[in-house]
Structures are given as C-alpha cells and as structure tokens.
Amino acid sequence: MQLRRLVGALALVLVTAAPALAHFGMIIPDAPVATAAKRSTTVTLSFSHPFEGHGMTMERPQTFGVLRVDGGKTERTDLLASLKETKVMGKAAWKTDFTFPRPGVYMFTMEPKLYWEPEEDCYIQHLTKVVVPAFGNEDGWDTPAGLKFEIIPLTRPFGNYAGGVFTGVAMLDGKPAPGVDVEVEYYNAQGKYAAPTEFHVTQVVKTDVNGVFTVACPLPGWWGFAALTNAPEQVKGPDGTMKDVEIGAVLWTRFDAFKPAK
C-alpha cells in the first residue's frame, strides 16, 4: 500500500512538474507571398499546440478580416462570413480562400471566442495576425492592425531567412507592454522534429521596458510569437466563480532557407 502511494505521489509530481504545452492562435496561409502566378491563397485558422501537433476545438471566431495597407492608405474587409469548417490536428478549425485584388500588404487578423482551459483554471483569447505582401508591395508592414493587444513587427515579417532574428514590440491598448512573457514556437507541421527536452518545445523571452523582444528562428518554416498578459476584467467560469482571462497577441511569420542556384 505504501509503495503504491509513493508511486502515485511521484507520478503526480512528475505530471505537475512538466511544463504546460503552450497554446497558440494560428492563421496560416498556404503561401507567404502573393504573386502574379499565385494570386489566391487558402488561409487556415486554428487553436493548437503547433510544435507537438495537438489541436483544440475552435469555435467560429468573433471577428476575422483583412487589413490592406498601401503606403499611408488602409482598407479593411470583413471575411467572417467566408469561413468554412475544416480540421487541423484532428480538431475543428476554419478556412477561407482569398484572392488578392491588387498590390499591398495584407494583414489577416482574428479575434476568437473565449476558450476555457480547465488545467489552467482560466479563459484564453489569442488575438492573432499574419502579414502577407502582394505583388511586390511591402510598404506599411509595421502598420498597427487595430487589435487590443498586438505585436508590431520591427523586423519585416516576411522575406526572412532561417537562422535570422525577429524583433517586435508588444502593444496593449496602443502602449508598449513591458515585462510580459513572449512564447515562441515552431509549427512542426510534418512532425519532422523532436525537442531535446520539454523546455525546448516553447521558447520564452520577456519584453524589455519598451515592450520590445528579439528571438532567433533557426529552422525554415512558420514561427509563432505570443505575448501574454491577463485582461483587467474577469469572466464567470463554468463553476460560477470569476476567472482570469489570458489574452495573447500572436503573430505568425515564415522564415525560409536559401534555394539552390539553377
């Protein structure tokens, strides 16, 4: 009996000591750049653990749209009605087909519904963004997309090489967010890579006094950055008590390998 209790207690310690898998809102286009040869893209929205390949069920978002930036001009289009159900990592997700009508920098953004996470005893809401340049236009890639909590890139968020670094600033209600955690994770879409330890699955940095962070991205593919904080107001949970709401500012960007010379 004592041995069983000891084994059970040890198992509990091991489970609770393991780092929790990081959640990421995800917006992934099937191509990171729009060209004359490929004017359309399929954009997929999900809520997942991108490195481990574990998905969560995602309800239809509260908002989803695209902001077109062309120099100092902006144009916003609501795409919520265009979403169709799909599966990502075996769980409910959403997708849409989008044709780029003209040159510009296109910022796809979503505000999901609150997700209840019983293991953390809180709600989660990740305000998510991805930036796609169209037809050679790159002006305005650092324009805010208008999210309550948002990562503004200081490194151009496209056309970057694997092994380079990315710098961004976390902005909450239009002001820099100092000292917040930024979780960084690689989208291990094909399950090609394994982490040396559970700590390697999600990298973590903190923003400085100006809300700025910098990370290196060693592999080609999609990388997600999630700045995290708690909303000032709580929401009633399933048990009727008030619960915290973790809000995340998530940005996805792709890093590429060099191509062989022809």
Report yes or no on 15 lying in a domain: no
9 Cβ contact partners less than 8 Å away, ≥ 6 residues apart: none
- Distance (Å) of CA 71 to CA 41, 103, 139, 142, 199: 23, 11, 5, 11, 41
Report yes or no on 55 lying in a domain: yes
Q: How far apart are CA 51 and CA 40, in angstroms?
A: 27
Report yes or no on 10 lying in a domain: no
- The range of the structural domain enclosing residue 171 comes to 22-255
Report yes or no on 246 lying in a domain: yes
pTM: 0.91
At 96 the pLDDT is: 98
User: Number of structural domains, the chain?
Assistant: 1
Residue with tokens 């809102």: 25
Share of the chain residues as helix, strand and coil, in percent rounded to the nearest 5 = 10, 50, 40
At 15 the pLDDT is: 41
Report yes or no on 193 lying in a domain: yes
- Distance (Å) of CA 48 to CA 115, 247, 261: 12, 15, 36
pLDDT, tens digit only, all 262 positions of the chain: 454 454 444 444 444 445 567 899 999 999 999 999 999 999 999 999 999 999 999 999 999 999 999 988 999 999 999 999 999 999 999 999 999 999 999 999 999 999 999 999 999 999 999 999 999 999 999 999 999 999 999 999 999 999 999 999 999 999 999 999 999 999 999 999 999 999 999 999 999 999 999 999 999 999 999 999 999 999 999 999 999 999 999 999 999 999 999 8
Q: How far apart are CA 9 and CA 131, in angstroms?
A: 47
Nearest to 207 by CA among 244, 247, 249: 249
Q: How far apart are CA 262 and CA 249, in angstroms?
A: 40
Q: How far apart are CA 86 and CA 96, in angstroms?
A: 10
Report yes or no on 260 lying in a domain: no
Report yes or no on 6 lying in a domain: no
Report yes or no on 172 lying in a domain: yes
